[in-house]
Amino acid sequence: MNDHVIDLRQRRDTLDDHFGDWNWKKTMTLGRTLKRKMEEAMKWKREHRAALWDLEATIQPALLDEWRSAIEIWEEDNTSPNPFESKVASIMQAAVRSQLAESEAQELQAGINYSLNDDVSPSVLISSGIELEDMQQRLKRDLADLSLHPTDKQREAIVHRSNTLQRRIDSWTRYQQLYMPIVSTLCLSADPSPNTPQAIAHDSLNELRSHLCLRSHMYKFKDKNLRGQAASTHAQNLIAHVEIKKDAAVEKYKHAHRALELLGRRLDIMGWEERLPPLKPEDIRPMGDFAGGHTQGTGTISWIWLVMEGNTSCSENERVQDCVCIEWCKARAHAARWFEGVELLVEEMRQVLTFLEWQGNWWHQRATLHPLEKTAEQEGLQAYAYRQAALRSAMRNSFEGRWSFIPQLNSGPTASMLVNDNDGPSIDVPPSAMDIE
């Protein structure tokens, strides 16, 4: 019916009919809708509970108690320090060089001199090593970007850079052997050690985690504080520099993994496949990034953040520990969210069943509430009321059958349904079912 050719009252009645029909269809499909929502919520509840337990298994109990206490304090008082915010500032290589130089200056003022060479001090050796590593990565990137048919000038430039770098590395290694004599012994050793590939793999994972955290902090700093093309270009160059180091750590892990695959059986290295799985592209992501189109509520963290060889105390990289703390808080919140979602859906289902039972009884009462003089009208009124009551009863039975896989609907809320922080996330107790009268 065209609502332009009817009056206002007819138009309102037409809209009411459409809205009533739509609401009735929604009511009829509540059984299927709530079942689908419950199955999804139970699935994510299990996955996030397992992800939280996997993460907690890699963290020392003392740290867990400290973080749990901090987040509970913040939940009670939001003016307290927020455990979801990072407490560690990113440190750049320039800051490291500056700290080394200042430390050496303080030692010289105190009359302490650890230098074994007048030209190369320990801090200069470290800074030069970092610079050589950067030069290696830049040369590797330029070689990869070189076309299949480079010009003679391009080839000459690459060869010249390679020769210069090799001479600088040879010069640096002589000073390295002066400060670290054991290096020459390690280089001469040709016997493969069972622990060497695993140690290299764990070191590369530590480097990868550190570079991912640094890159994430740099992106946030760039988006929040930098404006203009010059500043953005400079920041992008720094981020690209970190990206190169991240790729180097990835290649280092892959080489160590291939070594473990080749030497694992020969050296009787057992159980390394579970701790050090193959590194896939979707695994190389910060803690807060989720692969496969998942969101904060449905995604899980990459396994690289769950492999913590050795202790995870304050002696390890503070930045990584800070990221683990933040991710633990998020994982705990995600698990609590889906736990609470299941409880709310159980309560909603219980309310639907209670309401349908009450509405069926209400229609039974309406059948005899207003007696009419005409028998035909009275019978018609009772038939309509009994039909509505039968519909509610059939709907209730259908919904109850669809939801039979949920034992809480039959037993009601019990203390065993609740969890605390020792077994998983803690949430408030859901309200008890209210009888609709």
Phi, psi of 310 (to 5 degrees): 80, -160
- pLDDT at residue number 315: 39
- pLDDT at residue number 341: 92
Rounded CA gap, 412 and 391, in Å? 25
pLDDT in tens, 359-369: 999 999 988 88
- pLDDT at residue number 295: 55
Where are the chain's structural domains? 28-86+333-417, 90-184, 191-310
- Of 293, 283, 307, 94, nearest to 205 by C-alpha is 307
Residues 6+ apart with CB under 8 A from 296: 288, 290, 330, 334
Phi, psi of 67 (to 5 degrees): -70, -40
Look at the pTM and tell me if it is higher than 0.75: no
Q: 229: how many CB neighbours lie within 10 A of its CB? A: 7
The parts of the chain modelled with pLDDT lower than 50 are: 90-92, 186, 188-194, 310-316, 412-437
- pLDDT at residue number 113: 57
Supply 146's token pair. Answer: 């070189």
Question: Which region, left, alpha or beta, applies to residue 424 given φ > 0 means left and ψ of -120 to 50 means alpha?
Answer: left
Residues 6+ apart with CB under 8 A from 267: 192, 194
- pLDDT at residue number 233: 80
pLDDT in tens, 187-198: 544 444 445 677
Rounded CA gap, 251 and 249, in Å? 5
Phi, psi of 167 (to 5 degrees): -65, -40
Phi, psi of 384 (to 5 degrees): -65, -45
